[in-house]
Amino acid sequence: MPTTTASEILAKWLADALDKAGKSQSELARDIDLSSQKINRMVQGAREISGVELIKISDALNIPIPSLSGNATPEQASPAPLSTSETQPQRGATGNFSEEAYDKAFTAALEIEKREFGGNMPLQDFINAVTIGLKRQKN
């Protein structure tokens, strides 16, 4: 069985997520402030999805980010939907961190993405940067 690339996994995930959410590519584009053409290219697998875009899409469509394991099939890449309580966090403190802590960590990760990766930081690196930022605030 051929290996599925991260781009293929994300393209399938995005197409499936749009279908499940009942949203058009244009609606998603408006929701996350991108052009419809960029969303279409993502769905076709012709455009990489940045870490920030992936997080925005996940939030806008209320669906978890898929596993990007290099040997996953597209069917394995679509995780089970989250329950309502998991997908609608309460305002204020979330887990052990305040919204301000998340905002600081996310902003720092965005700065690193822009400075060191030209706005195209790999998703796992972006997640690691946010995690490190949260851990530093906790200590």
Where are the extended beta strands (E) located within the chain?
Answer: none
1-87 in CATH: which number?
1.10.260.40
Tens of pLDDT, residue by residue, the chain (139 residues): 455 677 788 899 899 999 999 999 999 999 999 999 999 999 999 988 887 788 888 888 888 877 665 444 434 444 444 333 333 333 333 456 677 877 788 888 888 878 877 888 787 777 877 777 777 777 6
* Burial (Cβ within 10 Å: 0-12, 13-18, ≥19) of residue 83: exposed
Tell me, what's the pLDDT at 30? 94
| Domain ranges, ordered by start, for the chain | 1-87, 89-139
pLDDT at res. 31: 92
Distance CA 103, CA 80 (A): 27
Indicate if the alpha-carbon torsion angle 114, 115, 117, 118 is positive or negative: positive
pTM: 0.53
